Chain A
Amino acid sequence: MIIFADFYRDHKDRLLAYLLRMTGDYELSCDLMQESFTRCLERYGWKGLTSSLLFTVARNAVYDHGRRRQVRQRSDRKRCQGPDNPEEHHLLREEYQRVLTAMQQLEPDEKDLLSLAATSIYSYREIAQQAGISEANVKVKVHRARIKLKKLLGEGSHHG
């Protein structure tokens, strides 16, 4: 029997990681995660929950938020400021935050495609179907996004 709590536990970290890549904002990602689970539960019931459905709903939630933000900016948000964690994660978290910040400089379609690819849930074919582009186009754009991200991280690094 699929239990909602199990579904939540199995997907929360991966979904939050996806939303962080898409937004770079921890609080916003938590909001969107709640919204995504809620939408799934309300529209499809707890028996209809699937990973694919959840991420599709989450992706739409990100874009819905983007449209709303054009009207009202959330300028007071702290970027990706999470809860206090043990010290040993500090450096890793800083690096992670640097990647998330750089992700936000990608074009929206680049960020979307790379974020989906990094979930390890979707094949290029499935991403192509979601994005409404060809599979060949996904291959090119995902790689282009990775290269661009690498360049952005290189530019932001003190080491050049």
Chain B
Amino acid sequence: MDEMISMFIDNELSIDDKMFFVKRLKGDPDFFDETLALLDQDKLLRAEGLFPAPELAVKAPGVAQGRLQAFLKDFLGPLVGPVGVMAVVAVVVLGIVLTDRPGPPSGVCSSRLVVYQPEAREVAVAGAFTDWKAVSMHAAGSSGYWEIRLDIPRGEHGFVYIADGHRRFVDPTILTREQDDFGGENSILIVGQSI
């Protein structure tokens, strides 16, 4: 019978059960007190945000340099502290694309690709800007980040990361994606566009 309290808390009671439950609350002070105490306990048990998960900043491709740097500061800056560790571990596969230097007149930008893959033994990037050849990225110490700097022509480019030679994955922080010819997806990197 007392399971009714938990069923009430967990929204498992039918309308008839609820009527019975409310009547019992009215007529049984001990039952009322027990229900209130368990509700109070569950309110705390269900609390969210007291130890908040780090925010994942969503970056649209091609944002201005200042915003990109702010994005990087949010995610890479804290690496040295516990909050940084939180940020790192909570982001599933953190991919950051930085086009941080204006390109030469030819329309090429020096772009830095960064991705978080702590479990991978090797990570590569393949895209239109590499003729879809896998180009190995470099491990950034023991941080779990992999990075590479490439000269990429201005414009839109499909690309994908490849971990351990076979596991393809898109950059989850880039919202624009395309279907490839094999049923998979590619991220779309826009280089040189500012807002």
Q: Give me the interface of A with B, judged by CB distance under 8 Å.
A: 3-6, 8-9, 12-17, 20-21, 26-27, 29-31, 33-34, 37-38, 40-42, 45-46, 80, 82-83, 85, 89, 92-93, 95-96, 99, 103, 114, 117-118, 120, 123-124, 139-140, 142-143, 146-147, 149-150, 153
Contact = CB atoms under 8 A, between A and B. Distances in A.
Nearest to A14: B48
A124 B12 contact: yes
In order of increasing CB-CB distance, the 9 nearest A-B pairs are A37-B92, A82-B51, A12-B53, A143-B6, A5-B58, A4-B172, A143-B3, A34-B89, A13-B48
A4 B48 contact: no
A57 to B, nearest CB: 11
Given A83-B82, A117-B6, 5 more contacts: A3-B58, A16-B90, A96-B50, A139-B6, A146-B5
Nearest to A21: B45
B7 interface: yes
**How many interface residues does chain B have, given as a range?**
35 or more
A118 B56 CA distance: 25
A21 to B, nearest CB: 7
B7 A139 contact: yes
B12 A123 contact: yes
B37 interface: yes
A139 B175 contact: no
Contacts of A147: 2, 38
B169 A41 contact: yes
Given A4-B172, A124-B10, A17 B48 contact: yes
Contact of B83 (A33, A83, A89): A83
B31 to A, nearest CB: 13
Contacts of B88: 34
Interface of B: 2-3, 5-7, 9-12, 37-38, 41-42, 44-56, 58, 82-83, 85-86, 88-93, 167, 169-170, 172-173, 175, 185
A27 B7 contact: no
18 contacts: A4-B173, A8-B91, A13-B53, A17-B48, A26-B51, A29-B51, A33-B89, A34-B89, A34-B91, A38-B93, A41-B169, A89-B50, A103-B45, A117-B10, A124-B10, A139-B12, A142-B6, A143-B5
A9 B56 contact: yes
A9 B91 contact: no
Contact of B170 (A8, A40, A46): A46
A38 B92 contact: yes
Nearest to B51: A82
Given A5-B175, A9-B56, A142-B10, A93 B50 contact: yes
Contacts of B11: 120
A89 B47 CA distance: 12
